[in-house]
Structure 1
Amino acid sequence: MTSAQHPPSPDIPGGPTAAKQALRRRLLDQRRQMGVAQRRQGNDSLAAALLAAEEVRRAAQVAAYVPVGGEPGSLDLLAALTTPSRRVLLPVLLPDDDLDWAEFTGLASLARTGRGLWEPTGPRLGPGAVAAAEVVLAPGLAVDRTGARLGRGGGSYDRTLARVTGWTCLLLWEHEVLDEVPTEPHDLAVAAVATPSGVQRFG
C-alpha cells in the first residue's frame, strides 16, 4: 500500500497541542463530509484487508472498538473477527477516560451509553485485560510515516497502548495517512495502519 501523500502540518503558534487541535478540527470536518456510500465501500475494503493480515488471522484475542461519528470500521468487521477460535474485546469508557474491556458476543451484547457510544454489556475484565490481546485495532484521526498517532485528545488510547505488547493497528481513511503529525512526549506510535487500500506496517 502507498500512503497518501500530504504536506507536513504547518507550524502553528502554541506548539504541538495547538497544532494537534487545528489538525483534529480539519480531519473531523473531512469525515463529516464523507458520504454514506463512500464509507460503506471503504469499510468493506478495509475489513477485507484486515481479515487477510497475518497478524489478525493467527490472533486468538483481538481488541477492537465500535466506530462512531464517521470512524472507519463496522459492526460487520466485528462480527467477522469473532470466531470460535478468536475472542474479541471491546472498550468500556470509564469516568476518568481510561478504558475497561468486555467481550463482544454479537450485536445483542451492545448497548448505547449516555455519551453516545456503543459498549459491550458483559462482565468487565479490567483495564489490564487488553494486555493479553495479540492484536489491538485502535481508532484515531491520523498517522504519519513513522507510526505516530493522532487521537481525539482524551488520552484513553494513550493509556491503552502503554499496556499492550501485541500488534497495534490504527484504522483510518486514506487521506488521514500524512507525512507528519504533531507529537508530544507521551504519544505512542502504532505498528501499522489499515485503510481501504490495505495494511501498511511501520518500522
Structure 2
Amino acid sequence: MDAKKILRKSIKEKLSELNLPEYEDQSYQIAQQLYRSDEWISATTIAITVSKAPEVDTFQIIRKGWEQGKRIVVPKCEPKSRGLDFRELKRFSQLETVFYGLLEPIVSETDSVGRGEIDLVVVPGLAFSHSGYRLGFGGGYYDRFLADFQGMTVSLAFKDQLVGEIPVESHDIPVQKIIHGEGVIHIGN
C-alpha cells in the first residue's frame, strides 16, 4: 500500500473515533475561528463543500454565510474532466445525493459561478501538514481547480487531521491557512 493510502486509512480510523458531541464541539470552535478570519470577513463569494462526516461540519458555516449576506457556492464534480463546477446555493433543498453519498447542487435549480468571481475557497481534505499541503480524497479535483485560482484559500481541520508531513507531488498546491480548533496555521505564499 502506498504512503498516501496508509495515511488516509489511519486518519479515517482516528476520525471515526470522534463521538457526535466532540465532532459538533470541534466543528463549532473551528467555524468560530473561520468567521473571525480576514479571509472570511473580506469575502463576498465563498466556495465550500457540503460536508460529509467525518469532515468538519460545514452546514453551520453555509448558514452563517447566508445570514451575513455572502454568496455561497458549492461544487458539482464533473468526473469526466475531473473538474469542479461551483454553483450558487440559496437553500439546502437545492442539493441532491450523488455517488458516495455526497450532496451536490441540482443543476437545474442553481447557477454556475465562474472561478474569477470566487473570493475564498474552503478547501476540503483528509489530512493537512503544517506547510499547507493536504491529502485529498483522491480525485485531484481541487488541485486542478486551484492551479489557476487567484483568490484566497483556507482549510478546516480537526486536530487529528494535522500531520507532520504529507507525500507531496509536483501538482499539489498548498492552502494559505489552516484553521483548527485550537488556532490557525498561517502559511506564507
TM-score by length of 1: 0.84
Query: Which residue identity lines up with residue 128 of structure 2 in the other structure?
Result: V
Question: Deviation at 1:83?
Answer: 4.2
Higher relative contact order (CA 8 A, sep 6+): 1
Q: Provide the aligned C-alpha RMSD in A.
A: 1.7
- The total of aligned residue pairs comes to 185
Large movers: runs of 4+ above 3 Å: none
Q: Deviations over 1:69-97 (max 9, x none)?
A: 31113311111012464211100111223
TM-score by length of 2: 0.90
Aligned pairs (5 A) from 1:107-186: 107-121=92-106, 122-125=109-112, 129-186=114-171
1:26 and 2:10 correspond = yes
Residue 6 of structure 1 corresponds to which residue in structure 2? none
Query: Which residue identity lines up with residue 192 of structure 1 in the other structure?
Result: K
**Structure 1, unaligned runs of 5 or more:** 1-13
Q: Deviations over 1:152-171 (max 9, x none)?
A: 11111111211311111111
**Structure 2, unaligned runs of 5 or more:** none
1:50 and 2:37 correspond = no
Q: Does the 8 A contact of 1:130 with 1:163 survive in 2?
A: no
Question: Deviation at 1:179?
Answer: 2.1
Question: Deviation at 1:132?
Answer: 2.3
- What is the DSSP-based 3-state SS (H/G/I as helix, E as strand, rest coil) of the residue aligned with 2:163? coil
Query: Alignment identity in percent?
Result: 28
CA distance in 2, matches of 1:141, 1:113: 20
